[in-house]
Structure 1
C-alpha cells in the first residue's frame, strides 16, 4: 500500500532539480548567486554571501561553494546537515536526523557539538545568533524543501567581517522568490522504511511588478530507524511577496511557520574489540547499531519537576520538537549613487528535546552505566530484576545473564529539555557605492548589524533502567534489593542520579549583539585589493537557577507521581532553587578585520590571498563552567567572553565552460572556552573543489586535507600536541551524474578517513565511505518518477564514540549514520 500511496518520506525534498531562475535586475544579490549556480561546473555565478557586493568568483578573494537544486538532488540526503557534507572543507557530522549535527570548517574545533565557529543563515540572516546553543543547534530549526533555490557557503575570508559570530564561515540557504512562473506537487514514500511526505511550491507574478512564492511540506512516519512509533510528524510553510520598484530596487516580505517533530539519534550500545589504534566495531546481540535506536514504544513518559517545581510528563514521542514563527522583510533601493540594503527578521522559536542518554564507564569519576546485568546489579546491591513496562510488565527475570541474548542493562541519564524561548530579532543595514578613481573602481561599503537572542531553557533529568533490545521494543526494568524495590516503573530517580543530581538547571538570558562594519575594495586592471573591518560589542544579561550551582537542590524528597507514597526514587528528586539565583551581567567587545588581494591573470584563471582575524562571542556554553561570577554576574576572566580565530588562505581558481578547479591552502589558529575546556588550536591544510562537464555527463566534488593540533590546554596539558577529536586527515566528496531528456542518474560518494574518539588520542573511529544514488525518469511532459537511495551499501559510519579507550566490558556507546533507506517519489510540475 505504501508503494502506491507515495506520500512524503525523506527529510527533504530530493527529487526536484531547482530550475535556474532568470534573475531580474531588481532581484536580491543573494538570490542571484544561488539561481545562476545551475551553470555548474563553470561556477559563473556571482557570489553574495559574506561579502560586500556580489561579484564573479574569479574576481573575489574568497573560498566559496554553491549548491543548486540539481546537485542537492544527487546527494540523496535525508537532512539539511547531510547536504552540508557535500561542501568542500566542511565537516558535518550528521547522523541523518534533523538535529544536533556537529559542524565546522577547515580544522576549527568541534568541542561540545553544534556549529560554534560557523553561522547558518536563511536568506542572509542567521537562524540563531549562536550555532552551538545546548540542545538547540541551528539545524534543529532548518528544513530543506521545494522552497529552496540554492545554498551558498563561504569558508573563512570575509565571513569574519560581514557577519557576527561567524569567523569559520557562513552557510546561507536561499529561497525561491516567484520570478519563475509555476509550481510543483510531489508525493514521496519510503520503500524500505515507513515515512510519508507531501511537498508543494508555487510562485509567479500577480502584476508585472508584484510576485510571490509559497511552499512547504508535511510528513509522518517512523523514519529509517526502528523506534516503534511515528518519530517524524510535522512540516513547515514559507511565503514571500516581492514588490519591484520602477527604476530598480525591491521590497520583499516573507514568513515561515515550522512545527516538526523528529527522533534524535541518541548514543546507542556497540561492541568494540581489537585495540585502540585498530578497533573493530560491531552490533551487540539483539541490537543493530545501524538501524536500531534506544528509543522504544514501551518507554513511559519522562517524569521530573518542571519550571514551577511540580511534576511534568514529557512523552518520548516529543523527540526533538521544533516550533518557529518568523517574519521579516528585506529591501534594496538607490539613493543617488548609493545602494541601500536593509534586512529585518523576528523569530518566535521554542520547542522540546527528549532523548535517552547512556554515560559510559571510561568517563571518570562517573560509575559505569552500561554492562552486564550482573555487574550493574552488584554495583547497586540488587538481588533481582523484573520488567517494569512492555508486554511482560510485572514479570521477574529468572536469569539476567541471558536477557535478550546479550545480558546487558543500561542505566540511562535522560534529559528532557524545554526550549522555553529562543526568540531573536536581527537587523542588517548596509550602504554601498562605487567610485571611479583613475583607471580603477573603488567600492565603499558600510553597515550596522543589530541582534537580540534570547536563550531561556530548562533542563530536567530522570534516571531510568532499560534492557538493550532493538526494533523499538526495549522495556524499562525494575530493580529489587531483597524486599526493597529500588525503582518505580523503571525510574531509579527523578534526577540525574549518576551525575549526583546536577544539571537540573534553568536559565533565562538575553544576548545583545551590535556591530558596525565597513569595507573598501579597489579594482584596477587585473588586480583587486580589499580590506574590511567589524567591531562587535554586546552584552549578556539574565539569571541562572539550578542544582549545578546549589548542592542542596540536587536530591530532595517529593511525591512525583502524586500517589501519596514516597518511594526510593522519590528521594532522588532534583529541584530548581529559586531562592538561590545567580545573575549573568557582563559586556564584551572585539575587533575583526580582513585584508585581501586578487590577481585575475587571465579570463579563466585567478590567484588570491587573504588574512583575517575574527571572533565568536560565547553564549550559554560558558555558564555553569566557572567563567561567570555567580554573585555579581561578571566574567571572572575577560578572555572567556569571546574566542578569536586567525586565518590565512591563498589559492587559485581556474574555470572554463567545461572544467572548473579551485584550490586553496589554509592556516587557522583559534582559542576555545567551553564547559571543561580552556584551549588553543592550530590547523592547516589544502582544500580542492573541481567539476567537469561533457555532453550528458558531469562530475563535481572536492577533497580537504587537514592537519590539526591542540597547542595549549590549561586544564589538561596531556592533550597538548594531540589531534582534536573527530578531526580526520581527509574528507572528500565525488558526485557524478548523467542527464538526458528522459532520465537522470547520479551518485554522491562521501567519505572520511579515521579520527580519534577523544582528545586523548587513544580510541580511533574508523573512516568510512557512504554512497547515495538517485534515478529520475520523465515519461511525459510535467511528470517525473524518482528513486533516491541513501547509504546504498549500508555502511557503518561512526560519528561519535562516547569512550576514550576500549572499556573492559567491550561495550561502548556511539552515534552512527543512518542505515540504507530508499524512497520513491512522483512529481508533477505545472
Structure 2
C-alpha cells in the first residue's frame, strides 16, 4: 500500500468544490492531484494507481464527482472517507493497463454522470456532449422528495409539467411539441422503457413512484434520443435505480405533512455470496391535500441483485411490485374577472377541493356495474428486469430485457363545460320534460338526498363519472454492441436491436351526473311539475342524467422492432462528428366492440332512455407502419472549458393501438418531427452554463378534440389536422456565489405556433371555415424559469434552500380565447444533520398559497374555450408543509 500526504489546501468541507484538469496522465497521478487539491490522504495499491488512463476530466465540480468520472472507466472504486480517499479495484482486470484503443467500460452508476444520450454507454464530462442534457442526482432528489414523475420533470429546462392532476396521469409538453401526456418522451428505468407506448388511460407516470430506490435521473433533450429510443422526439428520461455497494448499507425515511400523510421509505443491502443485493420499498397512507371521499395509499417494493462476471462483465436482476391508489382530479369552475385574472367560485377552493365527495364515492355504470370512484386511480404492476453486460471481441455487448404486467382501475370525474344556475338548468330541461310527461307545466332542481328545493341561483355542474379498466402485458428486449474502430480517426460505434410485444385491453364507461358546483358537491335532480306542484316525471335518476352515455372496449396487440446504428467519430483533436440512424417497423392488430343503445324501460325518468351498452359485435383492425429516424451533429471543443455543437434530427413516432378506439377517425400516420439545435457548454471558476437554441417542425399532426354529443350526452373524440413549429432557447446554469452558497437556474423561452390549422364550424346557422393558423398550442407557455439557492450556514450542520419557479401566460385552447395567467411559486426548505447518520428535513411548497391555474376544460374546451364569467380550469394544490426524518447507515 502507498499513502500520499497532500500539501495543505484551504478546503475543509466534506465534499469540496475544486477546479479539475486531468489530461494525459495515469490514474494515480490524477488521483494524487485531486488529493492534494482537496487536502486528503490517498490510500490505494500502487499497481492499481500506475495504470494508464485514456481521456480526461475537466471543469469545476465537487470532489466526489471528479472521483467518479476519473475512477469508473479504470474499474476503480474511489470513496471519500474522513480526511482521505480510499481506492480499490472493482474487477480483477482493474490492475491491467488499458490499451490506447480498447473497449469502453460498462456504464457506472455514480451521480452526475450522464450516459443516456451516448450509444457507447461510456461516461463523459459535460463538455464532451453534442446534445442538451440535465442530471438530477440523489442529493437533489432527497431535497425535493418528489412524489410523482411530473415533480421530477418540472425541475428540468424545456419541459412544462402540469402537476395539478395528482400523482399520475399528468400532462407535460416538451419544447413546445403539441403532444400531450408522455407521447413526446421515452421514460426509461435503467435503460429500458417503463412502458413502450403512452396509451389511452394507461399513462407511463401511472407506474412510476420516485422514492429512496431512485439514485439519479438523466434527461437528454431532443438530439440523439430519437435514435436510442422509440417514441422519443422530445427526449429520453432515464431513471437510475440504486444498487448495493461492497459493504452493508441501509436507509430509512419517515415523512408526513400538515394534511395527515404518513409515508415510510427504506432500503437495505450489501454483499451476499458473489452478489450485491439491495431490497427497497415504500408504504404510504395519503388523505390527500384535496378534500376527497376516501383515504388513498399503497406500497411499492423492489429487489435488485448485481454480480460481476469476469473482468468486464456485469449482471443485474431486478423485480418491482406496485399496488396503490392515487389521486387524479379533473377541471373545476372558477370566475373569470375583467382584469384577465381568475378567482375562486364561492364554495370551491381550487387549491384544496375536488368533485370526489360522498355522493359520488360509488357509481353504478350501466355497462360495468357498481364501481368505487372514491378509489380514484388504482394501479397494480409486477415487472422483472435483466441487464447483462459482457466483453465481446474489442467491444462490449449489453443485453437488456423487461417483462411487466399491470392492471389499472382508473376513475375520474370530468366536468362538462361551465356551470349554470339551477334555474337555467331547469328551464333548459323543460321542453324535453313537457314532451315526455303529460301535464308538465314547470321544472325545478331538488337535492337527491332528501328532495329539498335548490335555490334558483345555485350553481350547478354536469359531471362525467368515468370508469376505465386497462390491462397491459408487455415484453421488451434490447441488444447493444459497442466497439471502437480506428479509421481516419477514432470511431466509437454502437449497433442496437430493439423489440417489443404487448397486449393491451381497454374498457371504458362514462355516465353523466348533475351536482352542486361546490367542493364535494351533492347530487341534484331536475324534476317535472304540474300546475299544482306535483311531480310528473324527472330528467334524472338519483342525480344521474344517465348511467351510460359512452362505452368503449378495445383489445390490441403490437409487435415492433427497431435497428439502429450510431457513431461518435473523433476526426481531429478538437472536432467530432456524431451521427445515427434508426429504422422502426410495427404491426398492430386488434378489435373494438361496437356499442348498442337501449332503453331500460323506467317510465318515471328520462335518464334510462338511451343507455350505451356492450353489444358483443366486434370490428377487427390491422395496421402496419414504419419510419426512419436520423440525426447528425458536429461538436467542437472551442477552448479548454468551452464546447459548441450543431445538430439536426428527424424523429418519428409510430401510431399506437389507441387509434382503434374510433376507427373512422383514427390517426394512423407515422408522425415526423424535424428538429435543429445549436448548443454551447461552458464552465470555469465556479460558473457553468448550458445553452441550446432549438427549433422543431411537425409537417402534419392530428390534434385531439373531446366534446359532448348534445343529443346523447356521450363523449365524442375528434381530430383536426394541422402543422406546428417551435423556436426557442434553453439555458441551464450554476454559479458558486460563495464558498457555501450556490445558485442554479434554468430558463426556457419559446415561441410555438400552429400552422395550416383550419377546421369547419357553424356561424349563424351556416357552415364556415375557422382558421387558427398562427395561434399558440394549448397549455404551452412562452416563458418558464426556475432558480434555486442553497446555503450552508457556517459552523452549523444546517442547510437552507429556496426554489422560485415562474410560468408565463398560456392559453387553455388552440383558439387562444381563454388566457391562463402566469404564476410564480415559491418553496422553502431546511436540512439539519442531527448526527449519527440522521437528517431532519423541513419543506414548505407553494409558500404563498398561490392559485396556479395550469390548463382548461379537457372536454369541449380545448379547441375553443368558453369565455363566460364562469370558466372550467385546473389548478395546482395549495400550500403544503412537510417534514421528514432520514437515517442512513
Equivalents in 2 of 1:621, 1:722: separation in Å? 27
Structure 2 unpaired stretches of 5+? 1-63, 77-89, 92-102, 431-441, 530-534, 705-718, 761-769
Q: Secondary structure at the match of 2:632?
A: strand
User: Which whole-Å CA distance do the structure 2 matches of 1:486 and 1:332 have between them?
Assistant: 65
Alignment counterpart, residue 369 of structure 2, candidates 308, 312, 327? 312
Of residues 808, 819, 833 in structure 2, which corresponds to 1:753?
808
Structure 2: how far apart are the matches of 1:787 and 1:96?
Answer: 24
Whether 1:522 and 2:565 are equivalent positions in the alignment is no
1:246-269 superposed Cα distances (whole Å, 9 cap, x missing partner): 211201110110111112121111
User: Which of these residues, 30, 44, 48, is aligned with residue 116 of structure 2?
Assistant: 48
Contact 1:73–1:774 (8 Å) recurs in 2? no
Q: Among residues 280, 283, 297, which one is paired with 1:215 in the alignment?
A: 280
Name the structure 2 match of 1:323: 380
> What is the match of residue 464 of structure 2?
413
Corresponding residue for residue 794 of structure 1: 849
* Match 2:178 to one of 109, 117, 120: 109
Give 1:486 deviation, angstroms: 2.9
Q: Looking at both structures, which has the greater relative contact order when contacts are Cα pairs under 8 Å and sequence separation is at least 6?
A: 1
The change in CA–CA distance for 1:329 and 1:657 in structure 2 (over 3 A counts) is farther
| 1:556 alignment partner, one of 598, 602, 605 | 598
**What's 1:399 paired with?**
455
Is residue 34–residue 151 contact of structure 1 (8 Å, CA) maintained in 2?
no
Q: What's 1:704 paired with?
A: 748
CA offsets 1:754-799 (integer angstroms, 9 cap, x no match):
0111111121111111112221112222111111211111111111
The answer as to 2:702 corresponding to 1:673 is yes
Aligned equivalent of 1:452: 501
Q: Give the structure 2 partner of residue 250 of structure 1.
A: 314
More strand per residue:
2
Asked if the contact 1:74/1:747 (under 8 Å) is kept, the reply is: no
33 and 223 in structure 1: CA distance in 2 versus 1, 3 angstrom threshold: farther
Check 1:48–1:413 CA distance in 2 against 1; reply closer, same or farther (3 A cut). closer
2-structure distance, mates of 1:410, 1:30: 61
SS, match of residue 186 in structure 1: strand
2:347 to 264, 286, 289: 286
- Compared CA separation, residues 204 and 96, structure 1 to 2 (3 A): farther
**Structure 2 counterpart of 1:98:** 167
Match of 2:439 in 1: none
Q: Using the alignment, how far apart are the partners of 2:466 and 2:645 within structure 1?
A: 48
Is contact 1:431–1:447 with CA below 8 Å preserved after alignment? yes
User: How far, CA to CA, are the matches of 2:865 and 2:500 in structure 1?
Assistant: 45
Q: Is it true that 1:660 corresponds to 2:727 in the alignment? A: no
**How far 1:620 moved relative to its partner?**
4.0
CA contact (8 A) 2:107 2:121 kept: no
- Which of 543, 554, 561 is 1:507 aligned to? 554
State the distance in 2 between where 1:643 and 1:587 align: 14
Q: Residue in 2 aligned with 1:204? A: 270
C-alpha distance in 2 between matches for 1:410 and 1:652 = 51
Label 1:268 to 1:475 Cα distance change in 2 as closer, same or farther (>3 A). same
The structure-2 alpha-carbon separation of the partners of 1:426 and 1:791, relative to structure 1 and needing over 3 Å to count, comes to same
User: How is 1:14-413 mapped onto 2 (pairs within 5 angstroms)?
Assistant: 35-37=110-112, 45-49=113-117, 51-54=119-122, 55-75=124-144, 77-95=146-164, 97-110=166-179, 113-131=180-198, 133-179=199-245, 181-191=248-258, 193-207=259-273, 209-230=274-295, 232-274=296-338, 278-306=339-367, 311-360=368-417, 370-381=419-430, 383-388=443-448, 393-397=449-453, 399-401=455-457, 407-413=458-464
Shift, 1:621, TM fit: 4.4
- Looking at structure 2, the residues matched to 529 and 99 of structure 1 have their Cα atoms a distance apart, in angstroms, of 40
Conserved? CA contact 2:106–2:121, under 8 Å: no
Contact (CA 8 Å) 2:161, 2:173: kept in 1 or not?
A: yes
The 2-side partners of 1:594 and 1:300 are apart by 51
CA contact (8 A) 2:758 2:773 kept: no
Contact 2:567 2:580 in 1 (8 A): yes
Partner of 1:427: 477
Query: How far did residue 602 of structure 1 move?
Result: 2.5
For 1:355 and 1:317, locate their aligned partners in 2 and report how far apart those are by CA, in whole Å: 9
Report the Cα distance in structure 2 between the residues aligned to 1:814 and 1:29, rounded to whole angstroms: 51
CA-to-aligned-CA distance 1:408-452 (integer Å, 9 cap, x gap): 111212211111x122111110101112335x3211211100012
State the SS of the aligned residue for 2:358: coil
- CA drift of 1:488 comes to 2.2
Measure how far apart 1:624 and its partner are: 4.3
Given the superposition, is the C-alpha separation of residues 739 and 584 from structure 1 closer, same or farther in structure 2, using an over 3 Å criterion? farther
Q: Summarize the Cα distance change of 1:696–1:163 in structure 2 as closer, same or farther, 3 Å threshold.
A: same
Which consecutive aligned stretches of 4+ in structure 1 deviate over 6 angstroms post-superposition?
A: 26-31
Counterpart in 1 of 2:48? none
Q: Distance in 2 between matches of 1:753 and 1:30?
A: 44
SS where residue 35 of structure 1 aligns? coil
Are the equivalent residues in 2 in contact too, given 1:614–1:646 (CA < 8 A)? yes
CA distance in 2, matches of 1:31, 1:238: 23
Question: Once the 2 structures are TM-superposed, how far is the Cα of residue 603 of structure 1 from its aligned partner?
Answer: 2.7
Higher-Rg structure is 2
TM-score norm. by structure 2 comes to 0.80
Bigger Cα displacement from structure 2, 27-36 vs 253-262: 27-36
Residue in 1 that maps onto 2:707: none
Measure how far apart 1:30 and its partner are: 12
Per the alignment, residue 635 of structure 2 pairs with 598
CA distance in 2, matches of 1:664, 1:68: 22
- Conservation of the 8 A alpha-carbon contact between 1:322 and 1:352: yes
Cα deviation per residue 1:43-88 (whole Å; 9 max; x = unaligned)? xx34334644333321121100000122234446442202211101
Kindly state the Cα deviation for residue 595 of structure 1 after the two structures are TM-superposed: 0.7
- Taking the aligned partners of 1:749 and 1:655, their CA distance within structure 2 comes to 24
Q: Deviations over 1:696-721 (max 9, x none)?
A: 21121210110111112254651111
Inter-CA distance 266–774: structure 2 relative to 1 (3 Å threshold): same
Residue 122 of structure 1: CA displacement?
1.2
How far, CA to CA, are the matches of 1:494 and 1:398 in structure 2?
23
Q: Is 1:820 the equivalent of 2:873?
A: no
CA apart distance, 1:750: 1.7
Per-residue deviation at 1:572?
A: 3.0
Q: Is the 8 A contact 2:447 2:454 kept in 1?
A: no
CA distance in 1, matches of 2:202, 2:824: 29
Normalised to the residue count of structure 1, the TM-score between the two structures is 0.86
Unaligned runs of 5+ in 1: 1-18, 38-44, 362-369, 402-406, 497-502, 548-552, 629-634
Equivalent position SS for 1:571? coil
- Report the count of equivalent residues: 746
Rate the CA distance shift 1:582–1:657 in 2: closer, same or farther, 3 A: farther
